[in-house]
Structure 1
Amino acid sequence: MKDTYQVAGLTWVKSSYSAGDGGQCVEVADVGPAIFVRDSKQPGEGRLTVGARSWAAFVQMAARG
């Protein structure tokens, strides 16, 4: 992940897979027991909240394809 910056008290990190070409971009903010996920193109449109363990399992499964 890269492009870390501060927004509304949370540190949002954009996926390194976001090529900067206006494609699909996901950002996450890690707050310990929870992970917030949002669309970087519409950051004010809400966010998804998942548990840190569930997020870790998702990332592992996504890495496997």
Structure 2
Amino acid sequence: MNSGTTELAWFKSSYSGSEGDSCIEVAIAEQGVHVRDSKDVTLPAFVVARAEWTSFMRFVSEH
């Protein structure tokens, strides 16, 4: 799912450095969490269901 991703409010983690050379950006929307490469925002983004994103974030924060 890539349509409409330009209207989303994209953001990077507050842990991203100011150089921003190895980051992803996320945008939270009703249909899910959109994820894209911050180095080349012209590449297609992908969408993860909110429940799966929550599980992923929980896993990352615990490890």
| TM-score, with length taken from structure 2 | 0.82
Secondary structure at 1:49 match in 2: strand
Structure 2 vs 1, CA of residues 22 and 13 (structure 1 numbering), >3 Å: closer, same or farther? closer
Q: Where in structure 1 are there 5+ consecutive unaligned residues?
A: 1-6
**Structure with greater helix percent:** 2
Point out the structure with the larger strand share.
1
Greater RCO between the two (CA within 8 Å, min separation 6)? 2
Give the length in aligned residue pairs: 59
**TM-score (structure 1 length as normaliser):** 0.79
Identity rate, percent: 34
